[in-house]
Structure 1
Amino acid sequence: MKKIIVTNTPNLFQMNLEEIEVLTPKAYLTKTELNKLSSARVFNLCNDYRYQSKGYYVSLLAEARGHKPIPSVKSIQDLKAPAIVKIVSEELDDILQKALKNLKSDEFTLSIYFGHNVAKQYEKLCRELHRQFQAPFLRARFVHNKKWLMQSIKPISLSEIPEDHLPFVQEFALNYFSKKRYENVRSTRYQYDLAILYNPEEKAPPSDKKALQKFMEAADKNGFYSELITKDDYDRLAEFDALFIRETTTVNHHTYRFASRAQSEGLVVIDDPNSILKCTNKVYLAELMEINKIPVPKTLIVHSENKKEIAKKLGFPCVLKLPDSSFSQGVTKASDEKELALKLNNMLNQSDLVIAQEFLPTDFDWRVGVLDEQVLYACKYYMAKGHWQIYNWEDKKETTGRYETLPLDQVPKNVLDMALKSTKLIGNGLYGVDIKESGGKVYLIEINDNPSLESGVEDKILKDGLYDRIIKSFKKRIERSIT
């Protein structure tokens, strides 16, 4: 992929490196032959990123041409979001405290040039911030209040860099552009590149190793180069055309940032950030199902003011859920008033809102997989032996119940209909819908983004066809986005 550096001072970045062209903003904006260049990475080192400045239009026009600008217009805007800054500050807390521990003042500003600073003691912090916020030049501000916190971070233009720092910037730039950081040697037979985000250390991953291998085989068959990536590969997302998240998702987590970054870079993403936001919060789902008249167990959204209503409205036993619980973790059962008070108070210390539901004992839960508003598979997940949930996390062996995957013509129509109707309220992504049958009726329990797809379980009926259908969905989405 051709690399283009766009800068107001081309003489600073004449490095005589293969596949790199240095242009002024005017040249990049006016050279019509660049419209025919189908694959290019544009490093925007302009003097100004303000709205409707030349620097702004370099990134905007790069996107229109199908080039990949760094930073993108959306990335420039995203850096202004306080919530993202706060999350990254918390994630990098150990590195941050170590890097700034010897400072005597209560405020500090750090300039980051291609992941470096002129002072070596901030090297690790700069590298991590550059990984999280991909822009050539960044400026971060920190404040000390009992401990160091990142207050803000923003991309800066070349004109904001002190003149005595420019020799260092040139050195960092040469090192940066000399590395083969964006391209691996890939066969020309591949049309597209797919990143599969996973966590090799996760205890209960949504896909096991064999399933991941099946996805990669299906990708290869459908013209994709595929690669397993981890949270350390955040800065490589722009290499790919699509991102498939096979790590348990939550909002306050790197999985959500991966989805958001990938979407802002124009990648096709499953799970998309909107689906993660909606599915991982049970308060949202409870309200959504009630408004749309989809049957659920008797449910109460609990807060400190109405917690005494649970016993009267739901009875005992009842189920308590943290809003962002997954794989039965953060879900518990209360058998009486005393147990309810103890467990509920603990949960309200973690979240201002908690879900309480009536307990519907069943031998199994239906799990219906939905992709592109079509049913993909249907399983019965049986309760763990001697337990009321599919997963028994109290057992040191992490015991799970047995499963049964059925042909769709053997699944009750009202179960399939509920799965399709409920997921249309979320989007057209990949979902796993949990449904209970009780007393001749069906009740929606939850909609999961990032559903389990394990070899020998969800693929029992479709076999390799399950993986093929998911990869084909990626391909269709990519082709729709470029037509």
Structure 2
Amino acid sequence: MRKIVVVDYPKDWDVAIEDVEVVDVQSYLTDTTYTDIKNARIFNLCRSYKYQSAGYYVSLLAEARGHKPIPSVTTMQDLKSPTIVRAITVELEELIKKSLAGLKSKTFTLSIYFGQNVAVKYEKLCKQLHDLFQAPLLRAQFVYKDDWVLQSISAIPINEVPDHHWRYLVRFAKAYFARHRFSGARITRKIYDLAILVDPDEKEPPSDKRAIQHFMDAADSLGFYVELITKDDYRRLPEFDALFIRETTSVNHHTYKFARKAFADGLVVIDDPESILRCTNKVYLAELLAKAKVPTPKTMIIHKDNRNQVEQELGLPCVLKKPDSSFSQGVVKAKTQECLKKELDEMLSDSELIIGQEFTPTDFDWRIGILDKQPLYACKYYMAKGHWQIYNWNGKKQDTEGDADTIPFEEVPFTVLHTALKAANLIGNGLYGVDLKEIDGKAYVIEVNDNPSIDSGCEDRILKKELYLSILKSIKKRIDNHKNFRTDE
């Protein structure tokens, strides 16, 4: 992806940075050479972003051309509204107080050049403000009223940067553009930008570190610039073409917030927000599977008015599940009437509806990985040692998780594959893991996961690196289809 800095006059930016082109505003707005570029990121350093100014039209036409402008027109509008600025930055109140503590004046101006300031102590605050308002040069005005508050934030015209700041500005710019490597001699094949959302501190992530590296290698081989991002990078999503979520998803969680924003911004997203909503709520899944007549263990949606019928309907022991349970957490086995009452009391105090299923013990669960409505891999997940589930979070560390085998498709019973596909295809065409039990030659769906585990040495045991390539090829195809759709419009 080409990186183009647009300025009013070439003298405004006479800094040579590898892989960065400098174009004057008139050329970008009127020269068809730039109109026809398909993949470009536009860094708008015009002196003014005022409505209908040349700088305004740079970002507006960049968006119309399918380029990615920084700042976007939305950001320009946000910067003009004190109400929006306050609403967006409310989450930074504590950081502002901490960063500015000790200042003796009643006002303070913070200059932010490509996300940094000449004073290192303001580094975190600068980064957060830059992530919230993505513009190359920003000026934040703070006032002290019982405590420090952000009064306004605006773009700094390039010609107003003090001379003694220029050496810092150039250094920050070089670091900034190096981070955003989308083109250049060494990586000329980098056409797409992919963000992989991870949580470095997650104890049981969907993919281990080696698998994440395999994903990154696969992305690189297909022409992606790929970057691992965390929950702190929310405002950076518009920099990318696609978001691949590799941390455990939940609706009341930043993973859903990321998926929703990325989807709204036109990115290709796996897991997409609709899949997260559907898969992470077991009440929804139970209703969906029942309506489509997909076989499941005997299931009932439990609420306060029918809780006394659970034992009669499901027998004991039975399995109770919180609507948003995952990785066997929030799933319990009620063995006795006393245990059943206790668990129902607890679960129904948190949720109006929960799921109950008849207890169907097996030595292993099938997991069929599905992508684009086609099977991707098949595994047998064995129960944890001495336990009835795949995961035993209360067991000894070495016995937390059962063994797993990856199985060739020709050895997977037809009914298992067929039932898994039927269930997953009710959700969408994303990446899913369908868990099933096989009993007396029949397959029963336990759940559909929107964020299936893909670990090195397990799910990739048969396909190896081709597994990672398959997923990245799907993301690439989705980006191409999306771009073609926009072009056709």
Q: Normalised by the size of structure 1, how large is the TM-score?
A: 0.76
Q: Tell me the alpha carbon deviations over residues 28-48 of structure 1, each in whole angstroms, 9 at most, x when there is no partner.
A: 655544303344333568656
* Contact 1:48-1:157 within 8 A present in 2 as well: no
1:197-227 Cα offsets, whole Å, 9 max, x none, are: 3233221121223322333333344344444
Name the residue aligned to 1:208: 208
Q: Partner of 2:379 in structure 1?
A: 379
| 1:47–1:157 CA contact under 8 A, matched in 2 | no
Q: Aligned pair in 2 of structure 1 residues 212, 88: CA closer, same or farther (>3 Å)? A: farther
Q: SS state of the match for residue 384, structure 1?
A: coil
Partner of 1:180: 176
Distance 1:177 1:252, change over 3 A: farther
Q: 2:407 and 2:400 mapped to 1: Cα distance?
A: 22
- Structure 1 distance, partners of 2:331, 2:244, is 27
1:244 equivalent in structure 2: 244
User: Does the 8 Å CA contact 1:334/1:340 hold for their aligned counterparts?
Assistant: yes
Moved more, 384-393 or 290-299: 290-299
> Cα distance, 1:373 vs. partner?
1.0
Sort the Cα spacing of 1:400 and 1:310 in 2 relative to 1 into closer, same or farther, 3 A: same
CA distance in 1, matches of 2:165, 2:187: 33
Contact 1:245 1:255 (8 Å CA) reproduced: yes
Change (3 A) 1:121 1:283: farther
**Who is 1:412 aligned against?**
413
Question: What TM-score results when the alignment is normalised by the length of structure 2?
Answer: 0.75
Q: 1:319-344 CA distances to partner (integer Å, 9 max, x unpaired)?
A: 22222221111211222332233223
What does residue 259 of structure 1 align with? 259
The Cα offsets for residues 416-453 of structure 1, whole Å up to 9 and x where unpaired, read as 11111122222211110011123443221111112111
- The equivalent residue for 1:435 is 436
Say which is worse superposed, 336-345 or 405-414, in terms of deviation: 336-345
Instruction: Provide the rounded CA distance (Å) in 2 between the counterparts of 1:193 and 1:458.
Output: 26
- 5 Å-filtered alignment, 1:273-284, equals 273-284=273-284
1:80-91 → structure 2 map (5 Å cutoff): none
Q: Look up the SS of the partner of 1:180 in the other structure.
A: helix
Equivalent positions of 1:300-379 (< 5 A) are 300-379=300-379
Partner in structure 2 of residue 424 of structure 1: 425
* Closer, same or farther: CA 27–220 of 1 in aligned 2, 3 Å: closer
- State the alpha-carbon separation in 2 of the partners of residues 466 and 122 from structure 1: 43
1:273–1:138 CA distance, 2 compared to 1 (3 A): farther
Matches within 5 A, 1:115-134: 124=124, 127-132=127-132, 134=134
- 2-structure distance, mates of 1:78, 1:347: 43
Describe the shift of the 1:2–1:227 C-alpha distance in structure 2 as closer, same or farther (beyond 3 A).
closer
SS of 2:386 mapped into structure 1: coil
Report SS of the residue matched to 1:392. Answer: coil
Instruction: Identify which range, 124-133 or 246-255, moves more after superposition.
Output: 124-133
Q: Distance in 2 between matches of 1:204 and 1:213?
A: 17
In the other structure, the counterpart of 1:469 is 470
Aligned partners of 2:192, 2:245: CA distance in 1, in Å?
Answer: 17
Residue number in structure 1 paired with 2:487: none
* Pair 1:225–1:22, CA change in 2 (3 A): closer
Kindly tell me: are residues 120 and 402 of structure 1, through their superposed partners in 2, closer, same or farther at Cα, counting changes over 3 Å?
closer
Query: For 2:176, what is the secondary structure of its paired residue?
Result: coil
Indicate how the Cα distance of structure 1 residues 460 and 177 shifts in structure 2: closer, same or farther if over 3 A, else same. Answer: closer
Aligned to 1:482, the other structure's residue is in SS state helix
Structure 1's 3 and 344: CA in aligned 2 closer, same or farther, altered over 3 A?
farther
Q: Render the CA deviation track for 1:221-266: whole Å, top value 9, x for unaligned.
A: 4344444443344455445443322222222333333333444444
Residues in 2 aligned to 1:315 and 1:447: alpha-carbon distance in whole angstroms: 24
The offset of 1:465, in angstroms, is 2.4
The answer as to whether partners of 1:47 and 1:55 remain within 8 angstroms in 2 is yes
Distance in 2 of aligned mates of 1:257 and 1:436: 33
The alpha-carbon distance between structure 1 residues 396 and 375, as it changes in their structure 2 partners (threshold 3 A), is same
Q: Identical aligned pairs, as a percentage?
A: 57
Distance 1:274 1:361, change over 3 A: same
Shift of residue 88 of structure 1?
Answer: 9.4
Distance 2:196 2:335 in 1: 42
Distance change (3 Å), C-alpha of 1:187 and 1:385:
same
Question: Residues of 2 paired with 1:364 and 1:385: CA distance?
Answer: 12
Which whole-Å CA distance do the structure 1 matches of 2:89 and 2:426 have between them? Answer: 31
Per-residue CA deviation, residues 120-158 of structure 1 (Å, 9 max, x unaligned), is 999745642542564677999xxxxxxx9x9xx9x9876
Q: For residues 80-111 of structure 1, what are the alpha-carbon distances to aligned partners after superposition, in whole Å with 9 as ceiling and x for unaligned?
A: 9xxxx999977x68647857999xxxxxxx99
Corresponding residue pairs, total: 457
1:279–1:449 contact (8 Å) kept in structure 2: yes
- 8 Å contact kept, 1:289–1:422: yes
Root-mean-square deviation (Å):
4.6
1:423–1:2 distance in 2 versus 1, CA, 3 Å: same
**How many angstroms apart in 2 are the aligned matches of 1:273 and 1:435?**
24
Give the Cα separation in 2 of the matches to 1:427 and 1:415: 19
Summarize the Cα distance change of 1:188–1:116 in structure 2 as closer, same or farther, 3 Å threshold. Answer: closer
Q: Distance in 2 between matches of 1:269 and 1:23?
A: 34
Other-structure match for 2:296? 296
Secondary structure at 1:324 match in 2:
strand
1:444 to 1:133, Cα distance in 2 relative to 1, 3 A: farther
Larger-Rg structure: 2
Give 3-state SS (helix, strand or coil) of 2:69's partner: strand
Q: Report the CA distance between 1:350 and its aligned residue.
A: 3.6
Match of 1:452 in 2: 453
CA distance in 1, matches of 2:339, 2:292: 33
